[in-house]
Amino acid sequence: MAMRFIDVGANMMDDMFRGMYRGKRAHDDDTGAVLARARAVGVEKIIVTCGTLEEARSGVEMVRESRMINASIGPELYATVGVHPTRAYAFRDDPEGADAHVAKLLRVAEDGARDGAIVAIGECGLDYDRLEFCDAETQREAFARHFELARAVGLPMFLHMRGGGEYVVIDDFVDILSVNAEGLTMCVVHSFDGSLSDAERVLAVAPGRVFIGVNGCSLRSEANIDVIRAIPLDAMVLETDAPWCGIKRTHAGYVHLDLPPEHFPLAVKKEKHVPGETLVRDRNEPAHALAVAQIIAGIKGIDVNIVADVTYRNAQRVFFAQQMIE
């Protein structure tokens, strides 16, 4: 049977997929070609991550439009509702107050959950690597408010955890997650690049209900590789975080990559990109979920089909349990 994938986190609303880079147009919108490539390698579903109220509203629109345009040819699109930790000031700065901001997010979540456009609360969490955008206290307060949303609509959570330098994030992250774990369905700690101890602490908060999201950022160093080798496959889901977190030749995990050239077209500079014929160099895509799976398989010494099957089923359990019942 052909491999199937669910990319549990891709920034499909990023301007790069519209052909815009730092405010300048480099090529035409190639979203359709990007989705077609994803489908060609077996990506059946993509969760479009949203990090602001405005993005969540746009995400719902994007999902619903995709159902009418490419329902039969492209991967199914879904979205999240939440506030990224680097934008957590949105709660504080809402003219109507933090409670009103929560209520606005809840309205989007409830509306999107009715027809399945919204499948998770997030991207939310803590990012202590970029405190210049938002201070830690504001991030912690905003993170806690998201659990109210998750409980209100009964949706899983898509979580962000960054910070291992001067300001270590794991203690605050686990504390907030632990205090709010009751009533939580499931969650994914996405783009995981922490230590094995960090992974074990996060997974122990709610065994069987917390999953680790693996993408190119999870496969950069030898230390990352050791962590992925140790984390049970049953606790993993795949993601790309496209257009970010791509897999590079300098990454430790690259040695496990063995995709034949026909899997992906030539990658060129963005200015020379021809939609449908080339890839944009250094722009990650949902189609690269296959590459993530292959590297995990190489690290663990197992068949890539096993990685694809187990992580697909894990993602189904977390985000699409109702579809499994139906």
Q: Is 251 annotated as belonging to a binding site?
A: no
SS (H, E, C) 61-104: HHHHHHHHHCCCCCCEEEEEECCCHHHCHHHHHCCCCHHHHHHH
Give the pairing type, strands 267-268 and 157-162.
Answer: unpaired
Contact 90, 129 (CB under 8 A): no
Question: Does pLDDT of 326 surpass 60?
Answer: no
> Which structure tokens are listed for 170?
């794991």
Q: What is the DSSP letter of 120?
A: E
Res 27: pLDDT: 96
Q: Mean pLDDT lowest for which of 77-91, 154-168, 308-322?
A: 154-168
Phi then psi for 22, rounded to 5 degrees? 50, 45
Domain boundaries, the chain: 5-325
Q: Is 123 annotated as belonging to a binding site?
A: yes
Contact 50, 79 (CB under 8 A): yes
Question: Does pLDDT of 262 surpass 70?
Answer: no
What is the value of pTM for the model shown? Answer: 0.96
Q: Is 256 annotated as belonging to a binding site?
A: no
Contact 124, 157 (CB under 8 A): yes
Res 261: pLDDT: 64
Contact 212, 203 (CB under 8 A): yes
Q: Is 141 annotated as belonging to a binding site?
A: no
Can you tell me the distance from the alpha carbon of 228 to that of 73, in angstroms, rounded to the nearest whole number?
33
Contact 210, 203 (CB under 8 A): yes
Closest CA to 203 of 238, 234, 249: 234
Q: List pLDDT tens digits, range 153-200.
A: 999 999 999 997 777 899 999 999 999 999 899 999 999 999 999 999
Look-up of token digits 């998201």: 146
Can you tell me the distance from the alpha carbon of 239 to that of 246, in angstroms, rounded to the nearest whole number?
11
Question: Does pLDDT of 260 surpass 70?
Answer: no
Res 117: pLDDT: 98
Contact 184, 206 (CB under 8 A): yes
Closest CA to 59 of 145, 124, 120: 120
Check whether the bond before 123 is cis (ω within 30° of 0).
Answer: yes
Res 84: pLDDT: 99
> Which structure tokens are listed for 87?
């934008």
Q: List pLDDT tens digits, range 199-256.
A: 999 999 999 999 999 999 999 999 999 999 999 999 999 999 999 999 999 999 999 9
Q: What is the DSSP letter of 262?
A: G
Q: Can you tell me whether residue 47 is helix, strand or coil?
A: strand
Q: List pLDDT tens digits, range 131-165.
A: 999 999 999 999 999 999 999 999 999 999 999 77
Q: List pLDDT tens digits, range 11-63.
A: 999 999 999 999 999 999 999 999 999 999 999 999 999 999 999 999 999 99
> Which structure tokens are listed for 164?
């291992």
Topology of domain 5-325, per CATH?
Answer: TIM Barrel (3.20.20)
Give the largest Cα separation in the chain, rounded: 55
For the chain, what is the radius of gyration of the CA atoms? 19
